[in-house]
């Protein structure tokens, strides 16, 4: 079965650079979530989109932005990167009206040097 | 405030022994409850979920969990642990059928399995 696809899987950036992460949800899923997980931490919710509209907002820095496109894929844009942005970024998708289960991708590991 | 508490940061269990990981939640409405497992450097895999009905739910890999409304708990159990079960386990709570509203995760419990 198709899963959530995230790219790139690994990314290395310098401080103050920008980075873009992409997420392709499971086909027919209409909701996308972004989470950030620091080393040894639990996943922290950043932002979500339902039917291409922002649905919920968590602890997403102002330097970050995201959107969901017409084909339901989503991109997380991160600017003015800081060392503390180094983390595993997860995308998850779900289908509204189902049992609320989030299906997670394998994550994109961002390292800021 | 909505929250999930996993009281045990790290648990070590002998292979073949039984396991119980604790999860308590605080949630104002009818919640969905989930247990996810994460191996190092990997994504989160759903073990099981509860949203209604039988309070004892069965999941993958021989895991089960019991929802106890009176105790606001959703503890994860396995009768016989295998070395491959060593991983990070996260309990999560979410709203009932609200599109796009995020799950709230606990801090996680690291399970080590000794031989």
- At B99, the pLDDT band (50, 70, 90 cuts) reads low
What pLDDT was estimated at residue B106?
Answer: 94
At B17-27, the pLDDT tens digits run 999 999 999 98
What pLDDT was estimated at residue B95?
Answer: 73
CATH architecture group of domain A5-112: Sandwich (2.60)
Q: What percent of chain A has pLDDT over 70?
A: 98
- Phi, psi dihedrals of residue A84, rounded to the nearest 5°: -70, -10
At B28-87, the pLDDT tens digits run 777 889 999 999 878 899 999 998 888 899 999 999 999 998 999 999 999 999 999 999
- A109 — contact with chain B (CB < 8 Å)? yes
Residues 14-43 of B with CB under 8 A from A: 32, 34, 36, 41-43
Give CA–CA dist B78/B66, Å, rounded.
Answer: 11
Query: Could you tell me if B94 and B103 are in contact, meaning their C-beta atoms sit under 8 angstroms apart?
Result: yes
Give the position of tokens 């907002």: A57
Residues 45-74 of B with CB under 8 A from A: 45-46, 49, 51
Q: What is the mean pLDDT of each run of 10 residues along chain A (113 residues)?
A: 91 97 95 92 92 91 96 97 96 83 92 97
Give CA–CA dist A51/A25, Å, rounded.
Answer: 12
The domain that holds B71 is classified in CATH as 2.60.40.10
Please count the structural domains in chain B: 1
Closest CA to B49 of A36, A107, A94: A94
Contact flag A100-B102 (C-beta cutoff 8 Å): no
Shortest CA distance from A32: residue in chain B: B100
Query: Could you tell me if B21 and B73 are in contact, meaning their C-beta atoms sit under 8 angstroms apart?
Result: no
What pLDDT was estimated at residue B97?
Answer: 59
For residue B11, the tally of other CB atoms under 10 A from its CB is 16
Which range of residues forms the domain containing residue B33? 3-114
Contacts of A49 in chain B (CB under 8 A): 100
């Amino acid at each position: 079965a198709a899963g959530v696809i995230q790219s790139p899987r690994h990314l290395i950036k310098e401080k103050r650079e920008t980075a873009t992460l992409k997420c392709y949800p499971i086909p027919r899923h209409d909701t996308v979530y972004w989470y950030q997980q620091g080393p040894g931490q639990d996943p922290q919710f950043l932002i979500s989109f339902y039917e291409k509209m922002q649905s919920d907002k968590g602890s997403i820095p102002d330097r970050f932005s995201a959107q969901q496109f017409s084909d339901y894929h989503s991109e997380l844009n991160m600017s003015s990167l800081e060392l503390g942005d180094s983390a595993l970024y997860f995308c998850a998708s779900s289908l509204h009206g189902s049992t609320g289960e989030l299906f997670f991708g394998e994550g994109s590991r961002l390292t800021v040097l | 405030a909505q929250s999930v508490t996993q009281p045990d940061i790290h648990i070590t269990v002998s292979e073949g022994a039984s396991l119980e990981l604790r999860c308590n939640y605080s949630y104002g409405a009818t919640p969905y409850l989930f247990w996810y497992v994460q191996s190092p450097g990997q994504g989160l895999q759903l073990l099981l979920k509860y949203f209604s009905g039988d309070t004892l739910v069965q999941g993958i890999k021989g895991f089960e969990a019991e929802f106890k409304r009176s105790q606001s708990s959703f503890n994860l159990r396995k009768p016989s642990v295998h070395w491959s079960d060593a991983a990070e386990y996260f309990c999560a709570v979410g709203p009932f059928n609200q599109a796009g509203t995020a799950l709230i995760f606990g801090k996680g419990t690291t399970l080590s399995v000794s031989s």
